[in-house]
Structure 1
Amino acid sequence: MNSREALAIGSDQKPPVLFRGEYPQWHERFMNFIEAKTNYEAIYKCLTEGPPDWPMKVVPGNPAEERPERQIRKSIGDFTKDEKDTYDAEKLAKSYLLQSLPNDIYACIDNFKESSKKIWDQIEKMIMGSHINSQLKVTNCITRYDGFKARKGETLTETYERFNMLLNDLQKNKITKTNTENNINFMNNLQPEWKPFVSHIRHTQTLEKLYLHELYEMLLQDEEEVMELIGNQKAEEKPAADPLALVSERRGKSVSRSSGKVPVLS
């Protein structure tokens, strides 16, 4: 694990760091981080509802001086236990959020530090974008799913892992695909050498009841044979040697052996 991955995961003492393009993962890890705290509910309430109004206390009036009774902000030393707990939860919520932001993201939210909720909301708006941007993400996900293809030289496992990441993105964007759709898309877009093995599965399996990981396990049994077919195909694609060049090379070697001189070919 490299240092960036360690920062993104966080620890029991340090919140996970948010990197661009990884908001969903960060959000889940951040929630797991604060759930482990004893005052989790208070911290969560600060993030989602904002802190309550600052506690006030009543200052008695003085009729002799014509001063009416009034309310002023309490000093922290006058807080009740519940008020102190809420105040501490807000401080922790802000601290955890600010610790989780790298400098480039922090620079974009430093005007929203008056409460943890404002920071929380601004991060989501900035990273996740507007409704229009969300729609673009959905469209891009569907386009990548429809255009999925195995890459040349890629192993079955590498193709399978890329496809799974794509399915995970679809689920994040609440796009549902059936087992049949996923199985057909995966099989149709493997390298051509997989065709006979894919055809066998189509005729022997019920695709709507077959999960993708089961399909992968079935295909994996034939990968060695497919790789051999791919290797043979590459060998056949090698360009044939130029016959004139071969003749010249042989004549040159023959002359060289007889005379001991390096031949000059015209």
Structure 2
Amino acid sequence: MYNSWHNHMLLYIKGKEHDRMMLNSIEHGPLVYGTIKENGVTRKKTYEELTDAEKLQDNCDIKATNIILQGLPPEVYSLVNHHHVAIEIWDQVKLLMQGTKLSQQECECKLYDDFDRFTSVKGESLHEYYLRFPQLMNDMHTTRMTMQQVQVNTKFLNTLPPEWSKFVTDVKLARNLHTTSYDQLYAYLSQHEAHATEVRLMRERFPDPVALIANNPHIPSYHTNYQS
């Protein structure tokens, strides 16, 4: 979940005052106090001896650290809360949440596998099916995985239950799957959910296609094309 957390934190900080100074602290480290000579002895400046610009940067360093710590899951916070510098916390969180390059590759493999095996769940509505699909796509997006739009759309359509077969065929003929989003496909299909539900109920009542036609001669033949 590192990529999702990373993006969320950056967007949150960018909405704050002096966001650039806080981001600078995260990327390059906190302000380094200069030194002065006093009675022949060199010592580090105190906060009161900093310039106004340096005081502002020092304050932003502290704010950046607090924001990062407050935005961490409890299990991660307990592992890094002994750090007091934003850049150190950020790097440690990346290591803990993202892991090594190998674990990142394993995550991508799992998501590709989840995509290949994604299918409809018996009894769920079109809306429930639609909600599950963007969750998977969002996980792939935050992991910086890319897929062609036509591949995504084809997966979305082909794993719908059999009662949607006629409408899936219609939308494939009517829409360009290279440019249409699956959100638009869902919007089109949702207009026909009542018909698809009726077909599903009839199929459950008459599992045998011959019996279905015999008892409901008005049903078009494409609704009796059962799929396994």
- TM-score, length-scaled by structure 1: 0.70
Name the amino acid aligned to 1:91: I
Quote the offset at 1:102 in angstroms: 4.8
1:161 is displaced (CA, Å) by 1.9
| Aligned counterpart for 1:200 among listed residues 163, 170, 183 | 170
Tell me the C-alpha RMSD between the 2 structures: 2.1
Aligned match for 1:169, one of 135, 139, 150: 139
Greater shift, 41-50 or 217-226, is seen at: 217-226
Matches within 5 A, 1:249-260: none
How far apart are residue 146 of structure 1 and its match? 1.2
Alpha-carbon contact 2:25-2:87 (below 8 Å) kept: yes
Residue type at the aligned position of 1:35? K
1:183 shift after superposition: 2.0
Aligned to 1:249: none
> Any runs of at least 4 consecutive aligned residues in structure 1 with deviations exceeding 6 A, and if so which?
none
**Partner-residue secondary structure (3-state), 1:51:** coil
The answer for unaligned runs of 5 or more in structure 1 is 1-20, 62-69, 238-266
Aligned-pair identity in percent equals 26
Give, in whole Å, the separation in 2 of the partners of 1:151 and 1:87: 54
Confirm or deny that 1:211 pairs with 2:190.
no
Deviation of 1:52 after TM superposition, in Å, equals: 3.3
Conservation of the 8 A alpha-carbon contact between 2:35 and 2:44? yes
AA at the equivalent of 1:216: Y
Residue matched to 1:33 = 12
The aligned runs of 1:1-266 (5 Å cut-off) are 21=1, 23-61=2-40, 70-111=41-82, 113-236=83-206
**Amino acid aligned to 1:52:** L
Separation (CA, whole Å) in 2 of partners of 1:40 and 1:184: 42
Q: CA deviation at 1:53?
A: 2.3
* Offset at residue 32 of structure 1 (A): 3.1
Aligned residues: 207
* Secondary structure of the structure 2 residue equivalent to 1:201: helix
SS in structure 2 of the partner of residue 57 of structure 1: strand
Instruction: Describe the superposition over 1:85-142 as per-residue Cα deviations: whole angstroms up to 9, x where unpaired.
Output: 222111222222223335432221134x141110111112211221111111111111
Change (3 A) 1:208 1:35: closer
Unaligned runs of 5+ in 2: 208-228
Assess, with a 3 A threshold, how the Cα gap between structure 1 residues 88 and 167 changes in structure 2: closer, same or farther. Answer: same
- Report SS of the residue matched to 2:16: coil
